[in-house]
Amino acid sequence: MTAYFDNAATTKMGRAAIEAMLPYFDEVYGNASSLHSMGQRAKEALEEARATVAACLGASPAEIYFTSGGSEADNQAILSAAKIGERKGKKHIITTAFEHHAVLHTLRKLEKEGFSVTYLTVGEKGNVSAEEVAAAIREDTCLVTTMTANNEIGSVLPTAEIGAVCKARKVLFHTDAVQAVGHIPVDVEKMQADMLSLSAHKFHGPKGVGVLYARKGVALTSLIEGGAQERGRRAGTENVAGIMGLAAALKEATAHLAENMKRVTALRDKLIAGLSRIPHSVLNGDPSARLPGNVHFCFEGIEGESLLLLLDDAGIEASSGSACTSGSLDPSHVLLAIGHPHEIAHGSLRLSLSEYTTEEEVDLALEVIPQVVKRLREMSPIWREKTEGKKPFLLP
Amino acid sequence: MALYSEKVMDHFRNPRNVGVIEDADGVGEVGNAKCGDIMKIYLKIEKDVISDVKFETFGCGSAIASSSMATELIKGKPLSEALELTNKAVAEALDGLPAYKMHCSVLAEEAIKRAILDYYQKHDLPYNEAVFADVLHEEE
């Protein structure tokens, strides 16, 4: 038996999304910009998908721009706001220390171009308040960009409150909702978001397609030149099949949101309760304002990659905050942002669930993880030193 | 996972010589928790031959596999031979390591050198400083 606990990385596609895509590969394969009837049929499908997405987000269809995914949407949102700000002489941006790299790296690029960026600290719990955002706003602030929910530790930010602050202070507000859409209620009106990013493959849609929502009146800057697609804001022949898959997956997720949240939250809480019994471990992220599908722990005395490899041997597909496998020796910036020392940050495990997660998978994880943690601790020199009292435990 | 060779995975899954030697003649510890790798090697030495070796490692899969392989390569060998063990030899014996994991084999080489140096120092034995240049340099 295998258990898939890496839904924050990507999800299995739903049948509805797969079936929505199929006709657009070999039946209605026309280019949506072509004038012939097949092209126009593709165009109609595209506009239907746009209307579906808009309805699910509380937006209007003209505010939906299809992109290649969440990263592109984040890049475009931030660079567009920077352009708008620059024209008014406003070159200050506010964000949090634990954003996705699609946001952080774009902001670093802007810093090199003379923008200044405030990175709000996220504290031990891994969250920010609207008051902290308000206090950071300056005369020259052109953008606040804060994620709706964190991809590693699952904290859900007070996005509607942050949006209200930004609206009152007349500052553009973007939220990276890649981990939130399809998993918790997301409504651009309630959030008062001027821009929002999402990605289809995080909610059982296809990879390589996403959305940038931009409120009417927010002038987007093109990242890709070459055609008049997406009202001139995103050149390139539309990925009609992918977009149909995105719309179908979003519709499905929205229709079953409440029941899925309830089911997944129960499984999440069972995992958290079970793993909390492992001594010298800690649940990361906001314990209450938390994504239904996120479980994230640090285990003292062990390293994340070896944990993942042994879990994989036992059929559990998970991930860690550890950047070990990505070729960097630095532990996750998110875990450092919530105040963990490197030693603790290295020993992390993220289990991310979806509505396809079963009780059996959860039981397998609860059986295997404590054994694997114990096995690795038994060969760890720092664990020995701690148990022999030569070094203090850092986690209770 | 194709991240590692079969040999790395074998030594990671079934590490050889894990544990502690309580009355070790030489102990070497390298790495630090900050970088995510700590390796500790324990040696039992009889007449300049490594009669027993154990290791403890906090680290990734390749760190555990490198420790395991390195202990296998020096077990029963004279100290002079153990001192010639290079990180490259450890990596080659594992059928290679990804480039960004080569430091794990370096840690294994250094842990052994440090354990042997510890043996010489504890027993007031003469040693060639040049051989231990790398580990002595780190102590400064």
Task: For residue A35, count CB atoms less than 10 angstroms from its CB and return exposed for 0-12, middle for 13-18, buried for 19 or more.
Answer: exposed
Longest dimension (CA), chain A: 78
pLDDT digits (tens, 9 = 90+) for A5-43: 999 999 999 999 999 999 999 999 999 999 999 999 999
Distance CA A56, CA A247 (A): 9
Q: Which residues of B are catalytic?
A: 35, 104
B140 vs A78, which has greater pLDDT? A78
The answer to whether residue A4 sits within a structural domain is no
The answer to whether residue A8 sits within a structural domain is no
So what's the pLDDT on residue A325? Answer: 45
Q: Tell me the residue range of the domain where B102 lies.
A: 6-139
The residue ranges of DSSP E strands in chain A, in sequence order, are 3-4, 64-67, 92-96, 116-120, 141-145, 172-176, 195-199, 210-214, 281-283, 294-299, 316-317, 348-352
- Written as six digits, the tokens of A320 are 């860690």
Alpha carbon A167 to chain centroid distance?
23
So what's the pLDDT on residue B134? Answer: 81
For chains A and B, what is the number of CB pairs under 8 angstroms? 68
pLDDT at B139 over 70: no
pLDDT at A345 over 50: yes
Give the closest of B15, B19, B59 to A303, CB-based. B59
A153 vs A322, which has greater pLDDT? A153
- The domain spanning residue A264 has which CATH number? 3.90.1150.10
pLDDT digits (tens, 9 = 90+) for B15-47: 999 999 999 999 999 998 887 899 999 999 999
The answer to whether residue B1 sits within a structural domain is no
Average pLDDT, chain A: 96
So what's the pLDDT on residue A328? Answer: 56
pLDDT at A177 over 90: yes
* CA trace torsion A222, A223, A227, A230 (10° rounding): -60
The answer to whether residue A394 sits within a structural domain is no
Average pLDDT over residues A327-336: 77
With a pLDDT cut of 70, the percent of chain A lying above it is: 98
pLDDT digits (tens, 9 = 90+) for A139-163: 999 999 999 999 999 999 999 999 9
Q: Are B109 and B116 in contact (CB under 8 A)?
A: no
The answer to whether residue A76 sits within a structural domain is yes
Same domain membership, residue A251 and residue A381: no
Q: Are A214 and A223 in contact (CB under 8 A)?
A: no
DSSP designation for A97: T
So what's the pLDDT on residue B33? Answer: 80
So what's the pLDDT on residue A51? Answer: 98
Same domain membership, residue A355 and residue A271: yes
Nearest CA in chain B to A377: B58
Distance CA B96, CA A382 (A): 27
Average pLDDT over residues A101-111: 97
Mutate to test the interface with A, among B6, B58, B100, B101 (most CBs of A within 10 A): B58
Q: How many domains does chain B have?
A: 1
Average pLDDT over residues A271-277: 98
Task: For residue B113, count CB atoms less than 10 angstroms from its CB and return exposed for 0-12, middle for 13-18, buried for 19 or more.
Answer: buried
Alpha carbon B51 to chain centroid distance?
15
β-pairing, A195-199 vs A141-145, is unpaired
Same domain membership, residue A280 and residue A147: no
Average pLDDT over residues A186-202: 98
A306 close to B (CB below 8 A): yes
Q: What is the pTM of this model?
A: 0.93
Same domain membership, residue A231 and residue A273: no
Q: Are B51 and B135 in contact (CB under 8 A)?
A: no
So what's the pLDDT on residue A152? Answer: 94
- Written as six digits, the tokens of A185 are 């209620």
Among A232, A255, A278, which residue terminates a domain? A255
pLDDT at A262 over 70: yes
Average pLDDT, chain B: 93
Same domain membership, residue A190 and residue A92: yes
Q: Tell me the residue range of the domain where A87 lies.
A: 15-255
So what's the pLDDT on residue A332? Answer: 87
At residue B82, φ and ψ (nearest 5 deg) are -60, -35
Residue type, A293: G
Task: For residue A170, count CB atoms less than 10 angstroms from its CB and return exposed for 0-12, middle for 13-18, buried for 19 or more.
Answer: exposed
With a pLDDT cut of 90, the percent of chain A lying above it is: 95
Distance CA A252, CA A14 (A): 9
Q: How many domains does chain A have?
A: 2
Q: Give A375→chain B minimum CA distance, Å.
A: 11
A303 close to B (CB below 8 A): yes
pLDDT digits (tens, 9 = 90+) for A205-241: 999 999 999 999 999 999 999 989 999 999 999 999 9
Return all residues near A293 (Cβ < 8 A) that are at least 6 apart. Answer: A7, A8, A154, A183, A264, A268, A352, A353, A354, A357
Same domain membership, residue A316 and residue A183: no
A393 close to B (CB below 8 A): no
Q: Give B25→chain A minimum CA distance, Å.
A: 18
So what's the pLDDT on residue A54? Answer: 98
Among A204, A230, A255, which residue terminates a domain? A255
Distance CA A308, CA A331 (A): 15
So what's the pLDDT on residue A329? Answer: 63
Contacts of B9 in chain A (CB under 8 A): 309
So what's the pLDDT on residue A323? Answer: 47
Q: Is the dihedral of CA A87, A90, A94, A99 positive or negative?
A: positive
The answer to whether residue A35 sits within a structural domain is yes
β-pairing, A116-120 vs B26-32, is unpaired
So what's the pLDDT on residue B138? Answer: 65
Q: Are A318 and A332 in contact (CB under 8 A)?
A: no
pLDDT digits (tens, 9 = 90+) for B107-130: 999 999 999 999 999 999 999 888
